[in-house]
């Protein structure tokens, strides 16, 4: 009975699209039945992705614009096809997704500088006041040097579609390392939003990264080492990756559902070594992991903060907690620069710019025995800093401005 339901549900998804039904049923023939029939249908409908070639000049190709709500429906159908295929084949099901990656992904560069540096981004959807709005997401650490006015380019069927766009809000490279980009109406010709995974990926899960590195399309498969609300950390094998997606990219599950924005191996090894030396900060992190072979992902929950902040300034501020005490609130344009613990025997311990330190549990990386006080330094977007002093004896919080 279960197999029959799976068969019918899979067939329903495929036949919901007329062009699929015509090509699949005719080619399948009378002898193609049951599971083998579905496999043949899926294989014919979703051939392996052909890597798009990036032309040197934009080409004017007539494509019918699609309303944002319709674009979301199309993306939902793609995600549904991937889920059904995954359930049927008991494994990775990325053919429906990969066939449409050119619509999800774009490159972003400074306006008027076609030959300049290009980062990689992707399209997301927002439901706002009963309407569907499409946005672009790209890594802030690269977009910050491009200015407010940028250009985004999609590469569809060997054709390049370039549109003017605007960066409306951005986080910080050390924190929410992402920029929110307003897409122009014309981009609806080709843009399609990704569908988001409902849960954080678990340790050991295989994830797939798609994007453009130096203008070249690429894909990488990596395994999750650890994850929390601030970062998802993957392990990678450079010998198995011809190029690394280190200029931004879309990360999805084996069903084509997005989990976040890839930052690649963007931070120096010396910084990462300081992040992970204290295993208390993340006990699931492999102690023998080669720190030069990891990749960072900003999870979707943090990317949603950008939308909340844009619609309602101040709403995305998050509560800072240390030892169960409410320390303050952190805007998206500020980051925790360091946390220092002071002990009664004179010992001091500091963690600097550690993306694995969750703002709602800043004490996780420290031993509580003998802890007298803590100093939390916050960095603003203009480079200035301030500090919160947490007295663990009196449980008082003191704000100190102008910290260097």
Domain ranges in the chain are: 2-48+61-91, 102-189, 206-298, 317-401
Q: CB within 8 A of 199, min separation 6: which ones?
A: none
Cα–Cα distance for residue pair 47/327, rounded to 1 Å? 53
Cα–Cα distance for residue pair 119/153, rounded to 1 Å? 11
On whether the 206-298 domain is CATH 2.40.10, my answer is yes
- Cβ atoms within 10 Å, residue 104: 25
Cα–Cα distance for residue pair 399/370, rounded to 1 Å? 23
Cα–Cα distance for residue pair 140/300, rounded to 1 Å? 15
Phi, psi of 283 (to 5 degrees): -70, -15
Q: What is the pLDDT along the chain (404 residues), one digit of tens a residue?
A: 544 444 444 543 443 343 333 233 223 333 333 444 334 433 333 333 333 443 333 333 345 567 777 788 878 787 777 777 766 666 666 887 888 899 999 999 999 876 678 889 999 999 888 888 999 999 998 899 999 999 999 999 889 999 999 999 999 887 899 999 999 988 988 999 999 988 889 888 999 999 887 767 888 888 898 888 888 888 877 666 655 555 788 999 988 889 999 987 655 555 555 555 554 555 556 666 666 677 889 999 899 999 999 999 999 999 999 999 999 999 999 999 889 999 999 999 888 877 677 888 888 778 889 999 999 999 998 889 999 999 999 999 999 986 65
**Taking Cα atoms as reference points, which of 285, 246, 282 lies closest to residue 266?**
246
Beta-bridge mates of residue 378: 336, 386
Fold of 102-189: Thrombin, subunit H (2.40.10)
- Cβ atoms within 10 Å, residue 86: 18
Q: Please determine whether the domains at 102-189 and 206-298 fall in the same fold group of CATH.
A: yes
- Strand segments, DSSP code E, in 289-365 are 294-299, 318-322, 325-330, 335-343, 348-352
Q: Which two tokens stand for residue 383?
A: 């480079």
- Cα torsion for 282, 285, 195, 133, to the nearest 10°? 40
Rounded to whole angstroms, what are the CA distances from 64 to 73, 186, 188, 340?
16, 10, 9, 57
- Kindly calculate the radius of gyration of the chain based on its CA atoms and give it in whole angstroms: 23
Q: Which two tokens stand for residue 186?
A: 């014309």
Cα–Cα distance for residue pair 215/223, rounded to 1 Å? 25
């Amino acid at each position: 009975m279960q197999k029959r339901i799976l068969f019918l549900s899979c067939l329903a998804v495929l036949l919901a699209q007329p062009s699929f039904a015509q090509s699949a049923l005719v080619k399948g023939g009378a002898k193609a039945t049951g599971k083998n029939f579905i496999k043949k249908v899926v294989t014919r409908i979703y051939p392996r992705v052909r890597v798009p070639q990036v032309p040197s000049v934009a080409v004017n190709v007539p494509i019918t614009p699609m309303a944002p709500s319709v674009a979301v429906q199309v993306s939902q159908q793609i995600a549904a096809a991937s889920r059904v295929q995954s359930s049927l084949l008991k494994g990775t099901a990325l053919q429906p997704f990969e066939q449409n990656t050119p619509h999800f992904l774009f490159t972003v560069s400074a306006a008027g500088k076609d030959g300049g540096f290009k980062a990689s981004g992707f399209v997301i959807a927002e439901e706002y006041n009963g309407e569907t709005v499409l946005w672009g997401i790209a890594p802030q650490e690269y977009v910050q040097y491009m200015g407010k006015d940028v250009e985004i380019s999609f590469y569809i069927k060997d054709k390049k579609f370039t549109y003017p766009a605007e960066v409306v809000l951005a986080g910080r490279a050390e924190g929410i390392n992402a920029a929110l980009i307003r897409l122009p109406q014309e981009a609806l010709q080709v843009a399609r939003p990704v569908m988001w995974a409902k849960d954080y990926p678990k340790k050991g899960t295989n994830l797939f990264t798609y994007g453009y590195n130096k203008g070249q399309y690429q894909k990488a498969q990596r395994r999750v080492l650890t994850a929390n609300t601030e970062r998802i950390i993957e392990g990678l094998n450079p010998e198995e990756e011809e190029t690394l997606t280190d200029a931004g990219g879309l990360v999805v599950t084996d069903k084509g559902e997005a989990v976040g924005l890839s930052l690649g191996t963007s931070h120096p090894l010396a910084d990462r070594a300081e992040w992970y030396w204290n295993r208390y900060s993340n006990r699931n992190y492999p102690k023998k992991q080669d720190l030069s072979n990891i990749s960072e992902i900003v999870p979707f929950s943090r990317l949603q903060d950008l939308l909340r902040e844009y619609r309602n300034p101040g709403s995305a501020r998050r509560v800072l907690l240390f030892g169960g005490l409410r320390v303050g609130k952190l805007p998206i344009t500020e980051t925790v620069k360091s946390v220092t613990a002071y002990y009664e025997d004179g010992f001091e311990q500091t963690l600097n710019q550690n993306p694995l330190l969750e703002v709602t549990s800043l004490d996780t990386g420290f031993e509580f025995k003998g802890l007298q006080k803590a100093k939390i330094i916050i960095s603003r977007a203009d480079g200035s800093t301030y500090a919160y002093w947490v007295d663990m004896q009196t449980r008082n919080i003191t704000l100190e401005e102008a910290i260097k």
